[in-house]
Amino acid sequence: MARVGAPLRAFAGVLASWAVLILLLVGWELVARSGFVTAYMLPPFTDVVARIFHDATDGNLAESAALTLYRALTGFAIAAAGGTALGLAMSRNGGVRWFFDPLISVGFPMPKIAFLPIIVLWLGFYDVSKISMVVFDAIFPVVTATLAGLAGVERELIWSARNLGARDRELLWQVMLPAALPQIMTGLQVALPIALIVAVIAEMKMSGYGIGAAMMTASRFADSRGVFAGIVEIAVIGYVLVKGMALLRRRLLAWHAEASNQ
């Protein structure tokens, strides 16, 4: 009985964690079929799922999702590498910090999407402009997280490494960066959904191909099922990306104290 009960308890736990989402989808279906709203305003969830399967079978979904992911992940990778390097340079060099700190302080809270018309004027409507917009938005949390992580390294840890003969490069790569990695990973976890959001918005504004562009095309033709299908697709992709980043964090920080608390 114990062997049977454990899987049942595990299944019940999973079901409970998804209960709110399941209730939301059931409520969506019931309201859409109640007659209080038209199918144009709120198509039934089952019709949206049927539309997603139709797009998947004819290849449109794979093409749109691949393009959106390419732009989002390419921009995220550039922001991750560039943001970490910039944060590292700012923490190690007073001149670099003096130059970039005001820019980071002013740029982080402002809506970077306001620069989209300028990006279009400079780079056009193609992938370079969309990826550049993703980088511009996603790099700020990476820089600030890197700075915070390096500033939070315990002084005793640095002194101990110095006393053991560690040079500047060894101190940086073997002590400071590993100690700051949890904070840097937090910045990356914040930047990843931002990258996806900005990629979709850029596609909506610049047209072309991708999930965002497909949603705008569906909207122009009053295809509400296509619009809601795009919302569901983005939600699923975003969930998978966030869970994948959380898994990567657990793998990279298996040695860290936070792994023992999970």
Angstrom distance (rounded) from CA 211 to CA 216:
9
Closest CA to 191 of 82, 56, 54: 82
CA angle 15, 258, 238 (to 5 degrees): 45
What residue type is 129 in one-letter code?
A: S
**What is the pLDDT at residue 175?**
74
Please write the tens of the pLDDT for every residue from 128-186. Answer: 999 999 999 999 999 999 999 888 877 776 667 667 666 767 777 777 788 888 899 99
Unique residue bearing structure tokens 């964690």: 17
Instruction: Kindly state whether residue 149 falls inside one of the protein's structural domains.
Output: yes
Instruction: Kindly state whether residue 109 falls inside one of the protein's structural domains.
Output: yes
Instruction: Kindly state whether residue 63 falls inside one of the protein's structural domains.
Output: yes
The token pair at 10 is: 């595990």
What residue type is 1 in one-letter code?
A: M
pLDDT above 70: percentage of residues in the chain = 87
Round to the nearest angstrom and report the end-to-end CA distance of the chain: 28
Helix (H, G, I), strand (E, B) or coil at 110: coil
List the domain range (segments joined by +) for residue 246. 27-35+42-261
Domain of 150: which CATH number?
A: 1.10.3720.10
Instruction: Kindly state whether residue 12 falls inside one of the protein's structural domains.
Output: no
Sign of CA dihedral 95, 97, 99, 102: negative
Q: What is the pTM of this model?
A: 0.86
Instruction: Kindly state whether residue 3 falls inside one of the protein's structural domains.
Output: no
Unique residue bearing structure tokens 């900005």: 198
**What is the pLDDT at residue 139?**
94
> Is the separation of the CB atoms in 194 and 136 below 8 Å?
no
**What is the pLDDT at residue 1?**
46
Angstrom distance (rounded) from CA 137 to CA 127:
16
User: Environment class of residue 83 by beta-carbon count within 10 Å: exposed (0-12), middle (13-18) or buried (19+)?
Assistant: buried
Total number of domains constituting the chain: 1
Ordered per-residue pLDDT tens for the chain, 262 residues: 455 556 666 666 666 777 888 898 899 899 988 888 888 899 999 999 999 999 898 888 899 999 999 999 999 999 999 999 999 999 888 898 999 988 888 888 888 888 888 888 888 878 899 999 999 999 999 999 999 988 887 777 666 766 766 676 777 777 778 888 889 999 999 999 999 999 999 999 887 789 999 999 999 898 899 999 999 999 999 999 999 999 998 888 876 666 555 5
Instruction: Kindly state whether residue 8 falls inside one of the protein's structural domains.
Output: no
Instruction: Kindly state whether residue 158 falls inside one of the protein's structural domains.
Output: yes
Angstrom distance (rounded) from CA 238 to CA 193:
7
Instruction: Kindly state whether residue 78 falls inside one of the protein's structural domains.
Output: yes
